């Protein structure tokens, strides 16, 4: 249950190649607007990330810019980008990230 | 199948056949034994004299292979030598698995089969890990079935291209031995499968010894066995050996098939006699067998071994002139042989002949993998370059990535980094792969291979590709898991070399956690020359401290002037997490409780949906609410009148529909059943007024039956007049329709159809059949127009769907007349109108028989256009089969790209079974052998179904042999069917029948059964008896039975020994248990205790004061004991003051299984006790004290165990010191837990005075209410503890609410069975005097006490049950004294 009134502008990005790290993903999506949060969960057991991430923009404009670009190709790989429809997941992953 | 007689004139090396012809098996063995075939004595048969069975040991060729033997610790115990196999034979009976196991097994087999099958179908191979997983699963279930064993064994050959040949055989042997140990029964099919694996793996073995083993196991070899033995001889060029087996086959009148000749081609060539090899082809033709593709392949391979390219080309040309076609897969075999024989230079020429047809890629991949495995990666790369490059499509802008499998396997087989880089560059240059370096790196990282990973990264760096910190995480993660600090430092150094600076996540998530503390990490890194004053490292340090909640250290850190500028955001989250560490589900539950508590009734009701959602979400996340809090929540929700929220949807009200059956008027229509139409009509006339619609319906039907359409229509009209709404049921309409169309009253029939439509009569099931018969009858009359009218009306009205069946009468009409052109026209018309191809098979068969190619072409074109090529091919295939044109059928089924259509194959098979066409069915099964994705077991099952119908057991036996030849794994139902055929014909079943048995539950054995079993003295009987007795806890008897078995020289199965050992250990008979273990080890090589027995052994040993002994056994065996066994062990060691022992266990646990959730306090407490035991009290105190002074969170750390042990041992010195320590901790460190524990311990052991003193010195103990209340709750569980509660109450009068204390006291009284009535009464009076209300539960308890004492209850006894009041109480107060 996210706090009412506070809007979130989030992307859910999947099919991220293993070679990209949090920094690279954040940099890439930074071109569309200021990225408030970039969460690319890694599997601490294997050391590889899970291939998807959440990008949170501070403004709706950033979100729209990102959604209007197609395709998103980073280092030869096409990313799948969509608006995040599950804000609840964000919180959970957020917590995980903090705890780990 | 040809008679072997024709072979006699053939002479190869002048083998004296005549002398062999009358040889029996033993004679063959004797003569064969003289052959010195194998270089080393592979098999040794050792006969042990003390019991009758033969145990021979089988040493596989390579000993101590690495990967293969390791499946799981649970399965392969430490001392089991994977290279050593047990061949256990003959009389050993196995456990009868229970029904449950059987069912599970059969289910599991289907799963495993599907899994392996799909892997083989998709890729033509099986990965080692998949096979191992299935093997592991089968082992874990126990009782492997025969077909599971077969499935596993079969997969150990060429299906494992990623494994070296020797390793595959080793795996097969491992499986063989392990399954035997678990009780698998091997029959001839298993031996044949093993032979096939040997052949595929080019494993050198002695055929004579193999036969000897089969003989010892009392398994009869069959045709397939001999064929494969011939192949084995031929593989090493031993024509003489092959001839001997061949002669033997002939003497037994076994048919000599193409496979034998193919082997001989190889045999002669390997013996260096190419001329004879080539000559075999004409010999074959001489015996009436045409050389097949495999024959030519054998020849090609022979030339390939010699590197004779000219002959290869010549042979290929020769093949082209026959009607045989070699598949790409065959040519790949040639490529493989050329390469392995060192003639790589010819490979490109052969590659040119590849057709790249369907299935090329998987086959070529397997060839590549095999070549790489055997060290010919350069040839493999040559092949890889011929792979079709997938065009990068616009949809997916990812670049091409051909060769991933190649790179991965190169990494896995440890090819040198230089080679890897070379391949990567090659792939990039030929545009096959866009990012091979990255992929290779990925594989190396995935396989945790540091050296190649680093090398590839170096090259990537040279190429200007970025190297990112997270590339090193997989390596670091591995070291973190192993707590390998050296490895971690090595990776960090490599990062430095590659000038990739680790970021904060690298340090925080992977590096720091490898080290025991942040400080030690800092020192180690600095020592290794890695910069530690970077922002990344310092930030990670701060973050780690914050996460740990070490606020003091964090503060020190942050206030240090040398600290670089760090963003608070870096560690904010961790700091919060550090604060919240104690968050548990309990808090969540309290949160919920307060959430509901804080809401008003209307609020809850208004938000019911949201709350429901929320609760469901919580549930999904696996959050469990402690039961007492749940009750609280329930209470609140109940009071808010929203009980739905808490109820599980159990509201299924089973509404019982009371059927008020209105008895309909008895009408005399019963007479209708007499089928007497005139009489029925008479009756109708008599009782006109009493006629009901149902009566009319019955009458109409009767009229139809009597073929009287006139009367039927009359009645129908009458009915309509009486009740215009009246509707007949569909069958009556059908009768009407039938009779009307029969009498050619077409218009009336059509009217009936229209009426049916109007009245919504549904035509289905049997009605459709009736409709079909109606149409057929019209067709039989040859009335095309009528038939068309009826069909069209029916379909146009939508009364019935135009199925193939309903459309068929039209076609039948032409077929009956022999007018195939007309029939085809009719079919085509149906197809265009209704998309049905009725009786196309019969039409095609007719055309084929007639030989009308033009018409056939027309039919094919039409079907192909309408339904696609696949349908035509199958239609033609079946038509050819049906008309006996098998050669044409073969051509059709060998069409490249054709795949199995199970539904179509089933259709034809069932047709054959139905019409008893053995030859056609057999041919279909034969011809589909190589059909892509064809379920072979299914096909053979059809054959056996027909055998069953015709009760032909010899045919069934031939089918079974054929299955072995083809390496088909039968499913259980197939085996059962086969066994059934044998049994009905009084034949011996040559394999284990996987019957679904009723649970032969050992517990249900009657004493009579015991007697019978015992007197029978069979191994099976004895085994059953031992198991049954163990289960009934009659351990000594069971042991006696075992001794008897031993006397009789009968060995039992491992599971049986294990059960007895467990039973003996449970009853404390350590010596006997070990004696049984020795007996078992005598019979079964590598016998090991099961995990459970092992745990029991540890506990028993500890009980017998011999913890050191069991530590030793534990260290020796590679087994992880259970938590309980470990706890007992550590306690035992602590008792004995064995510090070293405890440390060993601790480190063992850490290394063996970090997942074993052992409390760290177990080790701490017992270490302290061990120190005390050894007189080193200071050390013990030091350790314990540091525990409370150094870490922040003490809630979980209880040293009560130490207190108790010291008190129990009356060690006053230690007690005093411990007390002083507890007091010091209390005063100086605000650590109240030790003092509270000590206080309660004193109380519990009756040292009230000491407790009082302690309380005086540490007043804070009185504040630890949670601990005190839980002590009271615990004490009230057992009777007679009332004094302790009283003492507690006396010492700390206000530690809990009076009501609560009294309630617990009453509970305690209630538990006491003796004379406490007085005390309870006194308690009651006391409460009344203090003006306290006794709760209902306590009142109920008191009333119970009165009743027990036979006294009248002086107050009104609460009427409900204990449970009712307990629940009520739980719901109302939290926490409360309750029954569990």
Return the CATH number at A88: 3.30.70.330
Is A54 a member of any domain?
Answer: yes
Which range has the worst mean pLDDT, B140-144, B650-654, B845-849? B650-654
The whole-angstrom separation of Cα B53 and Cα B1048 is 12
Residue B125 near residue B369, CB atoms below 8 Å: yes
Query: Chain A to chain B, count of Cβ pairs less than 8 Å apart?
Result: 62
Residue A54 near residue A37, CB atoms below 8 Å: yes
Is A99 an interface residue toward B (CB < 8 Å)? yes
Closest residue to B476, CB basis, from A24, A47, A76? A47
Chain A nearest CA to B824, separation (Å):
53
Chain A nearest CA to B1037, separation (Å):
51
Residue B1131 near residue B1202, CB atoms below 8 Å: no
Is B478 an interface residue toward A (CB < 8 Å)? yes
- Chain-chain contact of A76 with B573 (C-beta, under 8 angstroms): no
Q: Which residue of B has its CA nearest to A23?
A: B468
Residue B95 near residue B141, CB atoms below 8 Å: no
Residue A93 near residue A50, CB atoms below 8 Å: no
The whole-angstrom separation of Cα B709 and Cα B702 is 10
Q: Which residue has the higher pLDDT, A52 or B690?
A: A52
| pLDDT value, residue B461 | 92
B1286 pLDDT tier (thresholds 50, 70, 90): confident
Q: Which residues of B809-822 are buried (b: 16+ CB within 10 A; e: fewer)?
A: bbbbbbbeeeebbb
CB atoms within 10 A of CB B1138: 21
Residue B1049 near residue B1079, CB atoms below 8 Å: no
B60 pLDDT tier (thresholds 50, 70, 90): very low
Residue B1025 near residue B1041, CB atoms below 8 Å: yes
Question: Per-residue pLDDT averaged across B700-718, rounded?
Answer: 84
Cross-strand bridge partners of residue B899? B932
Q: How far is CA B527 from CA B392, B489, B506, B522, B996, in A?
A: 50, 10, 19, 9, 67
Which range has the worst mean pLDDT, B200-209, B425-434, B1256-1265? B1256-1265
Q: What ranges in B182-308 are assigned the alpha helix state H?
A: 188-200, 207-216, 223-235, 239-251, 258-270, 274-286, 293-306
**pLDDT tens digits, residue range B450-475?**
999 999 999 999 989 999 999 999 99
- Chain-chain contact of B473 with A47 (C-beta, under 8 angstroms): yes
The whole-angstrom separation of Cα B616 and Cα B881 is 61
Q: Which residues of B touch A77 (CB under 8 A)?
A: 397-398
| pLDDT value, residue B30 | 33
Is A48 a member of any domain?
Answer: yes
Q: How far is CA B421 from CA B382, B468, B853, in A?
A: 16, 19, 60
**pLDDT tens digits, residue range B514-544?**
888 888 888 898 888 888 878 888 888 877 7
- Chain-chain contact of B445 with A100 (C-beta, under 8 angstroms): no
| pLDDT value, residue B729 | 82
Residue B927 has pLDDT above 50, yes or no: yes
| pLDDT value, residue B1018 | 62
Is B574 an interface residue toward A (CB < 8 Å)? yes
Closest residue to B576, CB basis, from A23, A71, A98? A98
* Contacting A residues, span 16-45, partner chain B, CB-CB under 8 Å: 17-19, 21-24, 42, 44-45
Residue B69 near residue B156, CB atoms below 8 Å: no
- Chain-chain contact of B398 with A76 (C-beta, under 8 angstroms): yes
Is A5 a member of any domain?
Answer: no
Which range has the worst mean pLDDT, B168-182, B759-773, B1133-1147? B1133-1147
How many distinct structural domains can be found in chain A? 1
Cross-strand bridge partners of residue A37? A56
Q: How does DSSP assign B974-1008, residue by residue?
A: HHHHHHHHHHHTT----S----------GGG--HH
A84 pLDDT tier (thresholds 50, 70, 90): confident
Q: Which residue has the higher pLDDT, B85 or B339?
A: B339
Is A1 a member of any domain?
Answer: no
**pLDDT tens digits, residue range B1219-1260?**
888 887 777 777 777 888 888 888 787 778 888 888 887 777
- Rounded to a whole number of angstroms, the CA Rg of chain B reads 42
Is A89 an interface residue toward B (CB < 8 Å)? no
The whole-angstrom separation of Cα B551 and Cα B545 is 7
Is B445 an interface residue toward A (CB < 8 Å)? yes
CB atoms within 10 A of CB B121: 15
Q: Which residues of B touch A45 (CB under 8 A)?
A: 477, 481
Q: Which residues of B touch A78 (CB under 8 A)?
A: 396-398
Is A4 a member of any domain?
Answer: no
The whole-angstrom separation of Cα B245 and Cα B31 is 11
Q: What ranges in B1229-1351 are assigned the alpha helix state H?
A: 1233-1244, 1248-1257, 1265-1275, 1282-1291, 1298-1311, 1317-1329, 1336-1348
Nearest to B972 by CA among B944, B993, B991: B993
- Chain-chain contact of A42 with B509 (C-beta, under 8 angstroms): yes
The whole-angstrom separation of Cα B824 and Cα B844 is 9
Mutate to test the interface with B, among A21, A22, A27, A47 (most CBs of B within 10 A): A47
* Contacting B residues, span 136-165, partner chain A, CB-CB under 8 Å: none
Burial of B667 (0-12, 13-18, 19+ CB in 10 A): middle
**pLDDT tens digits, residue range B649-700?**
222 222 222 222 222 233 333 434 445 677 677 767 766 766 777 778 877 8
- Chain-chain contact of A78 with B397 (C-beta, under 8 angstroms): yes
Nearest to B702 by CA among B722, B724, B725, B728: B728
B201 pLDDT tier (thresholds 50, 70, 90): very high
B993 pLDDT tier (thresholds 50, 70, 90): confident
Burial of B512 (0-12, 13-18, 19+ CB in 10 A): buried
Residue B184 near residue B17, CB atoms below 8 Å: no
Mutate to test the interface with A, among B470, B507, B569, B595 (most CBs of A within 10 A): B470
**Residue A80, H or E segment:** strand A77-83
Is A100 an interface residue toward B (CB < 8 Å)? yes
Residue B424 near residue B465, CB atoms below 8 Å: no
Burial of B765 (0-12, 13-18, 19+ CB in 10 A): exposed
Show the tokens assigned to B1322.
């006194």
Is A16 a member of any domain?
Answer: yes
Is A95 a member of any domain?
Answer: yes
Q: Which residue has the higher pLDDT, B851 or B999?
A: B851
| pLDDT value, residue B177 | 92
The whole-angstrom separation of Cα B749 and Cα B790 is 8
Residue B1039 near residue B1076, CB atoms below 8 Å: yes
**pLDDT tens digits, residue range B1191-1207?**
656 556 777 888 888 87
Show the tokens assigned to B761.
């009569």
Is A3 a member of any domain?
Answer: no
Residue B167 has pLDDT above 90, yes or no: yes
**Most confidently modeled of B173-177, B760-764, B1025-1029?**
B173-177
Mutate to test the interface with A, among B434, B445, B473, B507 (most CBs of A within 10 A): B473
Domain range for A53: 10-99
Compute φ and ψ for B183, nearest 5 degrees: 100, 20
Closest residue to A42, CB basis, from B396, B473, B478? B473
Show the tokens assigned to B205.
């073995």
Closest residue to A48, CB basis, from B469, B474, B573? B474
**pLDDT tens digits, residue range B1118-1151?**
566 677 777 887 888 887 777 777 877 777 776 6
Closest residue to B468, CB basis, from A21, A45, A100? A21
Is A71 an interface residue toward B (CB < 8 Å)? yes
Closest residue to A98, CB basis, from B474, B503, B573? B573
Q: Which residues of B touch A48 (CB under 8 A)?
A: 445-446, 473-474
Q: How does DSSP assign B888-914, residue by residue?
A: HHHHHHT-TT-B--HHHHHHHHHHHHH
Tell me: cis bond preceding A71? Omega within 30 of 0 counts.
yes
Q: At what angle do helices B1248-1257 and B1233-1244 cross, to 10 degrees?
A: 160
Residue B766 has pLDDT above 90, yes or no: no
Is B398 an interface residue toward A (CB < 8 Å)? yes
- Chain-chain contact of B475 with A47 (C-beta, under 8 angstroms): yes
The whole-angstrom separation of Cα B536 and Cα B547 is 16
CB atoms within 10 A of CB B378: 15
**pLDDT tens digits, residue range B1174-1190?**
877 788 877 777 777 76
The whole-angstrom separation of Cα B460 and Cα B467 is 8
Show the tokens assigned to B199.
């052949």
Question: Per-residue pLDDT averaged across B189-204, rounded?
Answer: 94
- Chain-chain contact of A47 with B399 (C-beta, under 8 angstroms): no
Which range has the worst mean pLDDT, B215-219, B845-849, B1057-1061, B1376-1380? B1376-1380
* Contacting B residues, span 46-65, partner chain A, CB-CB under 8 Å: none
The whole-angstrom separation of Cα B459 and Cα B452 is 11
Q: How far is CA B1268 from CA B623, B919, B1188, B1271, B1286, in A?
A: 28, 87, 20, 5, 13
| pLDDT value, residue B761 | 83
Q: Which residue of A has its CA nearest to B398?
A: A77
Compute φ and ψ for B1343, nearest 5 degrees: -60, -40
Closest residue to A76, CB basis, from B399, B446, B481? B399
Kindly give, in sequence order, each residue whose CB lies less than 8 Å from that of residue B489, ignoring residues fewer than 6 positions away.
B524, B525, B528, B530
- Chain-chain contact of B577 with A99 (C-beta, under 8 angstroms): yes
**pLDDT tens digits, residue range B270-320?**
999 999 999 999 999 999 888 988 999 999 999 999 999 999 999 999 998
Residue B442 near residue A18, CB atoms below 8 Å: yes
**Mean pLDDT over the full length of chain A:** 80
Q: What ranges in B356-414 are assigned the alpha helix state H?
A: 360-373, 377-384, 404-412
Is B469 an interface residue toward A (CB < 8 Å)? yes
């Amino acid at each position: 249950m996210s706090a009412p009134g506070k809007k979130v502008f989030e992307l859910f990005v999947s099919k991220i190649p293993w070679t990209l790290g949090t920094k690279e993903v954040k940099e890439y999506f930074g071109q569309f607007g200021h990225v408030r949060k970039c969460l690319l969960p890694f599997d601490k057991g294997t050391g590889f990330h899970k291939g998807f991430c959440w990008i949170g923009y501070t403004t709706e404009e950033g979100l729209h810019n990102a959604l209007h670009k197609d395709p998103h190709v980073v280092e030869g790989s096409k990313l799948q980008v969509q608006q995040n429809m599950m804000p609840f997941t964000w919180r959970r992953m957020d917590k995980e990230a903090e705890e780990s | 199948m040809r008679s072997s007689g024709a072979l006699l004139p053939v002479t190869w090396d002048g083998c004296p056949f005549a002398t062999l012809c009358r040889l029996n098996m033993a004679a063959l063995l004797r003569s064969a034994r003289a052959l010195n075939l194998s270089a080393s004595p592979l098999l040794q048969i050792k006969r042990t004299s003390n019991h009758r069975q033969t145990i021979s040991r089988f040493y596989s060729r390579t000993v101590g292979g690495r990967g293969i033997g390791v499946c799981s610790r649970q399965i392969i115990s430490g001392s089991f030598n994977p290279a050593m196999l047990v061949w256990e034979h003959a009389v050993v009976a196995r456990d009868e698995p229970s029904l449950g196991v059987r069912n599970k097994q059969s289910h599991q087999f289907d799963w495993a089969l599907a899994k392996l099958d799909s892997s083989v179908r998709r890729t033509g191979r099986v990965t080692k890990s998949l096979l191992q997983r299935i093997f592991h699963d089968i082992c874990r279930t126990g009782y492997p079935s025969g077909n599971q064993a077969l499935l596993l064994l079969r997969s150990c050959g060429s299906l494992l291209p990623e494994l070296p040949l020797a390793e595959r055989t080793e795996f097969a042997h491992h499986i063989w031995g392990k399954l035997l140990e678990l009780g698998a029964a091997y029959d001839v099919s298993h031996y044949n499968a093993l032979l096939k694996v040997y052949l595929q793996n080019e494993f050198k073995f002695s055929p004579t010894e193999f036969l000897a083993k089969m003989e010892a196991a009392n398994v009869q070899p069959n045709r397939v066995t001999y064929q494969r033995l011939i192949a084995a001889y031929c593989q090493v060029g031993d024509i003489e050996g092959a001839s001997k087996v061949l002669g033997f086959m002939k003497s037994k009148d076994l048919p000599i098939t193409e496979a034998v000749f193919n082997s001989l081609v190889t045999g002669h060539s390997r013996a260096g006699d190419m001329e004879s090899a080539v000559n075999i082809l004409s010999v074959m033709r001489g015996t009436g067998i045409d050389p097949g593709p495999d024959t030519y392949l054998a020849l090609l391979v022979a030339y390939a071994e010699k590197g004779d390219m000219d002959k290869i080309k010549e042979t290929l040309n020769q093949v082209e002139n026959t009607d045989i076609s070699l598949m790409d897969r065959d040519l790949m075999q040639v490529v493989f042989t050329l390469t392995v024989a060192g003639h790589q230079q010819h490979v490109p020429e052969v590659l040119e002949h590849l057709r790249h047809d369907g299935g090329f890629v998987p086959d070529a991949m397997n060839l590549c993998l095999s070549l790489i495995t055997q060290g010919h990666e350069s040839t493999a790369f040559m092949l890889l370059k011929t792979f079709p490059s997938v065009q990068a499509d616009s949809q997916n802008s990812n670049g091409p990535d051909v060769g991933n499998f190649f790179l991965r396997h190169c990494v896995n087989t440890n090819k040198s980094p230089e080679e890897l880089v070379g391949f990567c560059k090659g792939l990039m240059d030929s545009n096959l792969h866009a990012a091979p370096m990255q992929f290779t790196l990925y594989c190396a990282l995935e396989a945790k291979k540091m050296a190649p990973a680093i090398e590839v990264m170096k090259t990537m760096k040279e190429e200007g590709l970025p190297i990112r910190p997270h590339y090193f995480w997989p390596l670091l993660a591995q070291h973190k898991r192993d707590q390998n600090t050296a490895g971690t430092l090595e990776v960090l150094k490599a990062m430095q070399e590659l000038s990739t600076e680790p970021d904060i996540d690298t340090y925080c998530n992977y590096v720091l956690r490898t080290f025991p503390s942040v400080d030690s990490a800092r020192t180690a890194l600095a020592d290794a020359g890695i910069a530690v004053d970077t922002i990344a490292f310092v930030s990670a340090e701060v973050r780690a401290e914050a996460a740990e909640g070490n606020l003091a250290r964090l503060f020190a850190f942050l206030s240090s002037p040398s600290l670089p500028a760090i963003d608070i955001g870096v560690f904010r989250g961790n700091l919060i997490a550090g604060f919240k560490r104690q968050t548990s589900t309990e808090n969540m539950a309290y949160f919920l409780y307060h959430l509901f508590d804080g809401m008003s009734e209307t609020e809850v009701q208004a938000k019911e949906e949201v709350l429901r959602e929320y609760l469901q979400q919580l549930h999904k996340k696996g959050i469990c609410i402690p039961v007492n809090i749940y009750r609280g929540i329930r209470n609140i929700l109940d009071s808010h009148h929203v009980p739905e929220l808490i109820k599980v949807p159990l509201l299924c009200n089973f509404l019982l529909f009371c059927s008020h059956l209105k008895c309909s008027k008895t009408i005399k229509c019963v007479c209708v059943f007499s089928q007497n139409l005139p009489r029925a009509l008479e009756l109708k006339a008599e009782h006109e007024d009493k006629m009901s619609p149902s009566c009319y319906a019955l009458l109409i039907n009767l009229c139809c039956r009597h073929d009287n359409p006139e009367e039927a229509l009359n009645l129908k009209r009458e009915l309509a007049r009486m009740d215009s709404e009246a509707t007949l049921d569909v069958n009556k309409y059908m009768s009407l329709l039938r009779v009307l169309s029969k009498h050619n009253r077409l218009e009336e029939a059509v009217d009936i159809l229209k009426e049916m439509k109007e009245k919504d009569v549904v035509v289905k099931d049997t009605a459709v059949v009736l409709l079909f018969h109606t149409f057929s009858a019209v067709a039989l009359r040859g009335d095309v127009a009528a038939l068309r009218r009826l069909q069209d009306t029916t379909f146009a009205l939508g009364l019935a769907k135009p199925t193939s069946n309903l459309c068929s009468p039209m076609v039948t009409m032409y077929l009956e007349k022999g007018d195939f052109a007309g029939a085809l026209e009719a079919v085509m018309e149906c197809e265009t109108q209704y998309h049905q191809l009725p009786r196309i098979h019969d039409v095609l068969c007719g055309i084929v028989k007639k030989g009308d190619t033009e018409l056939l072409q027309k039919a094919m074109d039409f079907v192909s256009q309408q339904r696609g090529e696949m349908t035509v091919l199958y239609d033609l295939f079946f038509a050819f089969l049906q008309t006996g044109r098998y050669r044409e059928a073969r051509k059709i089924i060998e069409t490249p790209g054709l795949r199995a259509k199970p539904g179509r194959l089933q259709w034809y098979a069932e047709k054959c079974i139905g019409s008893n066409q053995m030859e056609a069915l057999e041919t279909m099964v034969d011809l589909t052998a190589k059909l892509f994705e064809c379920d072979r077991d299914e096909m053979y099952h059809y054959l056996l179904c027909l055998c069953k119908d015709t009760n032909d057991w010899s045919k069934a036996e031939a089918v079974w042999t054929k299955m072995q030849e083809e390496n088909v794994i039968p499913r259980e139902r197939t085996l059962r069917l086969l066994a059934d055929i044998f049994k009905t014909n009084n034949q011996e079943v040559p394999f284990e029948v996987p019957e679904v048995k009723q649970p032969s539950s050992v517990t249900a054995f009657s004493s009579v059964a015991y007697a019978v079993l015992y007197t029978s003295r069979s191994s099976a009987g004895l085994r059953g008896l031992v198991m049954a007795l163990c289960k009934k806890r009659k351990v000594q008897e069971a042991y006696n039975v075992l001794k008897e078995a031993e006397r009789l020289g009968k060995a039992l199965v491992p599971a049986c020994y294990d059960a007895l050992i467990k039973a003996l250990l449970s009853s404390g008979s350590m010596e006997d248990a070990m004696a049984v273990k020795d007996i078992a080890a005598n019979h079964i090589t590598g016998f090991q205790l099961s995990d459970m027995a092992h745990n029991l052994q540890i506990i028993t040993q500890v009980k017998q004061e011999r913890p050191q002994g069991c530590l030793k056994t534990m260290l020796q065996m590679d087994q992880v004991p259970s938590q309980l066994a470990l706890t007992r062990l550590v306690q035992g060691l602590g008792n004995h003051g064995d510090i070293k022992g405890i440390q060993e266990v601790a480190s063992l646990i850490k290394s063996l299984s970090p997942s074993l959730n052992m409390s760290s306090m177990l080790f701490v407490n017992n270490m302290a006790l061990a120190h005390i035991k050894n007189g080193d009290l200071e050390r013990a105190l030091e350790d314990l004290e540091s525990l409370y002074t150094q870490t922040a969170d003490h809630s979980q750390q209880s040293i009560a165990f130490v207190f108790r042990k010291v008190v129990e041992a009356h060690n006053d010195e230690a007690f005093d010191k411990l007390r002083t320590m507890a007091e010091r901790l209390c005063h100086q460190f605000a650590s109240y837990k030790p003092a509270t524990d000590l206080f309660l311990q004193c109380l519990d052991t009756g040292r009230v005075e000491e407790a009082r003193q302690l309380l005086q010195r540490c007043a804070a103990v009185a504040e630890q209410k949670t601990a005190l209340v839980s002590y009271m709750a615990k004490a009230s569980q057992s009777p007679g503890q009332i004094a302790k509660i009283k003492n507690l109450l006396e010492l700390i009068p206000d530690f809990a609410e009076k009501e609560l204390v009294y309630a617990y006291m009453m509970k305690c009284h209630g538990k006491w069975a003796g004379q406490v009535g007085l005390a309870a009464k006194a308690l009651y009076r006391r409460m009344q005097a203090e003006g306290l209300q006794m709760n209902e539960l306590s009142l109920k308890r008191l009333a119970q006490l009165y009743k027990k004492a036979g006294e009248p209850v002086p107050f009104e006894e609460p009427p409900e049950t204990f449970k009712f009041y307990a629940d009520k109480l739980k719901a109302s107060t939290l926490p409360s004294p309750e029954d569990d």
